[in-house]
Structure 1
Amino acid sequence: MLKSLLAAASLIAMAAPALAQTDIRFTLGWKTQGSDAPILLAQQKGYFEEEGLNVTIDQGEGSAATVTRIMSGTYDAGFGDINAIIQNAAERPDQTPVMVYQLWNDPPFTVVTRKESGITTPADLAGKTLGGAPGTPTTKLLPVFARMNDVDLDSITIESLAPNLTEPMLIRGDIDGAMVFNITAWFNLINNRQDPAADFNWLNFGDHGLDLYANGVMVSQAMIADNPEAVTGLVRAINRAAVEIAQDHEAGVDAVLAFDNLANRDLEMARMMFSYENLIASDEVTRIGLGDLDDDRLSRAIDIVAEGYQLQTTPEAGQVFDRSFLPPLDDRQLVLAD
């Protein structure tokens, strides 16, 4: 009997996930938002645990700050902007994290204007006043946007604004356009009792020559070197949740509220769907699947960032993105339910 019990216990131990799970410190890109749902659902449903991972998730300080948080050693992984990886890889290639799951296939960088201003094309920005927070990708890349669209940058007046003043000043007419992230400004306008679809025009950079990527899951180089299996498990769990949310939207927002019960359900459901419909889903994702990217497009994006940020060196694509941790293509197919 004793031998039978010992044998059974041994089999159970072999079949169960390892009790000594790998600890991963993960930073979000900002305060809890619906766009974080794939990470939060993977946590809530135990997908990380199934991969042998003990993931601790903290709120962030900005999608660019995710990079510096990981570089400091405080975090092992996070959700942040690939363009910030490009910037830092130009100066500190041995310390900069690597993108391993590219979630936002289209960039959120945009100039938003009131429809009554009559600004509908980049050419209409000539002679106008734009406001935005200094140092953000939209502000830093405006000169490239202007060059690519034959707009005289010297004809545009630029005002540096605190982020919380940008939309209010646009609404009052103190500026003609705001240099923002669409996924942020859209909901800031709603919170200011505006209709972002009916009353505003959006000059998205991705539609006007700046074919950039944006946020995804990045990990430290130390984690890649020391525990590649953990990186694979992290990516697999988040991809599993991202695919699931595309079909079960309620599950996604449930996970957001489970992580932060002060979040507004309706607002974060709308933000989550905005991210899927405007930033994640694309013809490219249909072709190559969630998490991956096009190497030629990434090389062009690196050149754009190098110009906009006046980088002294241009990193190679392999320093920025590593697809070797992605699940098979069949597991990364996005089917977005109505």
Structure 2
Amino acid sequence: MFYKSISAVVAMTLASSAWAETDLPFALDWKFEGPSAPYFHALDAGYFATADLNVTISEGSGSLDAIPKVATGAFPVGFADINSLMRFLDQNPGAPVTAVMIVYDKPPFAVVGRKSLGVEAPADLEGKVLGAPPPDGAWAQFPIFAAETGIDADAITVEPVGFPTREPMLAEGNVAAITGFSFSSTLNLKRLGVPDDDISVLLMADYGVDLYGNAIIVNTDFAAANPEIITGFLSAVGLGWKDAIATPDAAIAALMERNPAADAALETERLQMAIDANVLTDFVAENGMGTIDADRMASAIEQTKSVYEFTTEPDAALYFDGSYLPTDGSLMLK
């Protein structure tokens, strides 16, 4: 009877452990807006719970924001610009952080201007004032954009601005253009009353900038010790995006639960812009979400080298590790 009781206790303990959820804080790059809806949908749909994960999602303050949070271990997973990650690792060699899943296969880095202020093409920026937040991922890539388009960057007056004042300054005509994410700046300007036909969006990827965009990043020490947790997390993220593509309204409903002050119609449009221009590219439709093309990554590194002096020779293996990507079909979006 004694041994039977011990066996029962052990069995109950093992069952309890098997069902215990792992707490996993997730650091976003920005506020709770349309493109973050798939993560909240994955939460509400139980995709994270199915992977035995208790995920909490925190907003960020720019493309660079999540990188040090994850590198220090404060957050095991985050969402950040992979190009900024390259520079961070160059400046902080050996930092335990890398990208494991590309989300924005086509980056949303853009220069957004107003036609009424004379900005419709890259060359129009010369002689104008450009508003750029210093921590902005798009601003970090602007030198590549300038080099690829042949514009004279010295002929542009750059006004450092804060994220909260960026679109208002353009709406008020205090600057002629701004750097930012295409879907964020465009929709923010529309919310501020700027007519849609007065907004010009120069997506850097359409002008020779051959970079990837934001990715899921991980603390490499945590990931190495918990590979199944990372793979489960990425699978849930993929399912969240897959549902958001099929039924964006459901994803936006999950977002509105966390940000009830948001405009649901505007955030639905923002999400759809991200899906159409940045997430569901031809490459992703064919190969699934998350992975990279080695030749394109090599080209992206060369472009970065043209405007940034690495202290050590860049190595793609430091910036992206695809070994945690799930193979269960959760990343096939179509």
The equivalent residue for 1:184 is 184
The equivalent residue for 1:228 is 227
The equivalent residue for 1:263 is 262
Q: Residues 240-261 of structure 1, C-alpha deviation per residue, up to 9 Å, x if partnerless? A: 1111221111221122123333
Letter in 2 for 1:199: D
Matches within 5 A, 1:18-97: 18-97=18-97
Q: CA deviation at 1:9?
A: 11
Partner of 1:246: helix, strand, or coil?
Answer: helix
TM-score by length of 1: 0.88
Q: Residues 114 and 120 of structure 2 are in contact (CA less than 8 Å); yes or no, is this contact kept in structure 1?
A: no
The whole-number CA distance in structure 2 between the counterparts of 1:139 and 1:271 is: 20
Q: Alpha carbons of 1:281 and 1:16: their partners in 2 closer, same or farther (altered >3 Å)?
A: farther
Between 266-275 and 70-79, report the one with greater CA deviation.
Answer: 266-275
Identity %: 33
Matches within 5 A, 1:152-301: 152-196=152-196, 198-301=197-300
Q: CA deviation at 1:12?
A: 10
Q: Which runs of 5+ in 1 are unaligned?
A: 1-5
Q: Alpha carbons of 1:118 and 1:260: their partners in 2 closer, same or farther (altered >3 Å)?
A: closer
Q: Residues 254-297 of structure 1, C-alpha deviation per residue, up to 9 Å, x if partnerless? A: 22123333433222222221211121121111222111121221
The equivalent residue for 2:310 is 311
Q: CA deviation at 1:120?
A: 2.9
Q: Residues 106 and 280 of structure 1 are in contact (CA less than 8 Å); yes or no, is this contact kept in structure 2?
A: yes
Between 312-321 and 221-230, report the one with greater CA deviation.
Answer: 312-321
TM-score by length of 2: 0.89
Q: Alpha carbons of 1:34 and 1:171: their partners in 2 closer, same or farther (altered >3 Å)?
A: closer
Q: Residues 111 and 202 of structure 2 are in contact (CA less than 8 Å); yes or no, is this contact kept in structure 1?
A: yes
The equivalent residue for 1:323 is 322
The equivalent residue for 1:334 is 333
Q: Residues 17 and 51 of structure 1 are in contact (CA less than 8 Å); yes or no, is this contact kept in structure 2?
A: no
Q: Alpha carbons of 1:193 and 1:42: their partners in 2 closer, same or farther (altered >3 Å)?
A: same
Q: Residues 84 and 140 of structure 2 are in contact (CA less than 8 Å); yes or no, is this contact kept in structure 1?
A: no
The equivalent residue for 1:106 is 106
The whole-number CA distance in structure 1 between the counterparts of 2:174 and 2:258 is: 38
Q: Residues 289 and 333 of structure 2 are in contact (CA less than 8 Å); yes or no, is this contact kept in structure 1?
A: yes
The equivalent residue for 1:3 is none
Q: Which runs of 5+ in 2 are unaligned?
A: 1-5
Give the 4+ runs in structure 1 shifted more than 6 A: 6-17
RMSD: 2.8
The whole-number CA distance in structure 2 between the counterparts of 1:189 and 1:123 is: 22
Partner of 2:18: helix, strand, or coil?
Answer: coil
Between 277-286 and 252-261, report the one with greater CA deviation.
Answer: 252-261
